[in-house]
Amino acid sequence: MSSLTADLSPTKAVILAAGVGSRIRPMTDNCPKPLLEVGGVSILERMLTNIRLCGIEEIIIVLGYRPDQIESFVRDTFPDLPVTFIVNTRYRETNTGYSLMLAEEAVGDSNVVKFDGDVVFEVKILQQLLSSAATNQLCIDRNIHLDAEEVKVALSVNTHVAKVSKSLPPADAIGESIGIEKISAETAKLLFGELKAMMRNPRNLQEYYEGAYELLIANGVAFEALDITGLAWTEIDTHEDFASAATIFG
């Protein structure tokens, strides 16, 4: 299945913001990670501002930990922004695959740009992603030290993604997937089908959404890699990440 087929249906943004942020405690004891401020602006505010600058006006946010705080912040800061809030009530026992699955109905027949809710990034990354001809695409950074924590990407030929997984050996990878992807409406339907099938088995509740990407790739759905090396971004998982983000965006 080609990832270069034109699809002109409207694009929605899906933000996964359900996690506890346990590795950055005590900063998240009373504040969900997307509301932590980097350079005087919260992660989520910067993300929503970038999304709007790129012309995406329909937002879906999957909440879990401290959902009322995030919803109140969004409604107060962006009162005119059409946002659908979905609460993953099982956020403590599930992972990103389950949270993304919950967005199926809200996504409907739309193209999707999916964001991890703890990624701080400059708007050029999203501009390049949306202007690319590929309809299924992962943003990757080649200039990253890869270890067990990073979601690593391997290519088969040119920019064609062969593997995307934390378990991929670093020697086989060309870079890290930064947690921002573009998915066509056609592929989104297949993706939600794979996620629902995965989550029927309780052993998969802690699976990441990349597991469903890999199943799609194995079944012939094409994903391309967009090289954003050199552009400013960081994922905030640890105190070291937060310090790095403050340096980059402060």
Residues 6+ apart with CB under 8 A from 164: 138, 151, 152, 153, 154, 177, 210, 213, 214, 217, 223
Please report the pLDDT score of residue 6 as a whole number: 44
pLDDT in tens, 161-198: 988 888 888 888 888 999 999 999 999 999 999 999 99
pLDDT in tens, 64-87: 999 999 999 999 999 999 999 999
The span from the first CA to the last CA of the chain, in angstroms, equals 42
Q: How confident is the model at residue 120 (pLDDT cuts 50, 70, 90)?
A: very high
Residue range 11-249 in CATH 3.90.226.10: no
Please report the pLDDT score of residue 1 as a whole number: 40
Cα distances (Å, whole numbers) of residue 13 to 37, 40, 112:
21, 24, 6
Token readout for 66 is 């401290």
pTM beyond 0.85, yes or no = yes
| Residues 233, 72: Cα–Cα separation, whole Å | 26
